[in-house]
Amino acid sequence: MIGFIKFADSLSAWFGKAFAWLIILMSVGTGYEVFVRYVLNSPTAWALDVSFIMYGTLFMMGGAYTLSRGGHVRGDFLYRLWQPRTQAKVDFVLYILFFFPGVTALILAGWKYAARSWQYGEVSVNSPAGVPIYQFKTVIVAAGILLFIQGLAQVCRCIHAMRTNVWLEADEDVFETEDLLMKQVNEAEKGHTP
């Protein structure tokens, strides 16, 4: 069970980090569009669609990674006061009742949309350039599958927490700047105390 959790976390992290590079491409594309539009007075017909596609892809493919790191928004004003075992029981029920049916619907509907889109080589109706979007529809399915795999890992985490009353945390790989600064301050204070 722990091996599967580590596998799912690693898979989600790899995809999340790989697709995070789209931010740079989006920035370059937007910067290019601003330059040609306002300096050269020659706007592109494709920049807005490509920006939407990249942002949507980044958002979708980062979902499983965010789930693995506990980064999704939750209203936990009561939840955080409970023991891990109680939290795990509630999470387990919610994953079974809501998460898996929702993600399964995402995968099945995404498959239908993607298959239809690939059949006729769908292009954006918003762009005079006819930017292809069938590959973007495939991202819906890929993101759903990654979420499903990560959801199974989260259920395994719940089972572990129900047994041990301790949450298995994902490896930390990203840190808030404030946390790093506070860590540096604390280490500096420890080094200067007698």
* Residues whose CB is less than 8 angstroms from the CB of residue 67 and which lie 6 or more positions away in sequence, other chains included: 12, 147, 150, 151, 154
pLDDT tier at 109 (50, 70, 90 boundaries)? Answer: very high
β-sheet bridge partners, residue 123:
132
Q: CB burial class (10 A; 0-12, 13-18, 19+) of residue 75? A: exposed
The answer to whether residue 189 scores a pLDDT higher than 90 is no
User: What is the signed CA dihedral for 144, 146, 152, 155, rounded to 10 degrees?
Assistant: -90
Q: What is the DSSP string of 146-166?
A: HHHHHHHHHHHHHHHHHHHS-
Give the pLDDT of residue 193.
55
pLDDT tier at 117 (50, 70, 90 boundaries)? Answer: very high
Mean pLDDT of 29-47: 89
User: Encoding tokens for residue 137?
Assistant: 């529809």
DSSP, collapsed to helix, strand or coil, labels residue 132 as strand
Q: Domain segments of the chain: what residues?
A: 2-185
Q: Say how far apart CA 13 and CA 18 lie, in whole Å.
A: 8
Average pLDDT across the chain, whole number? 89
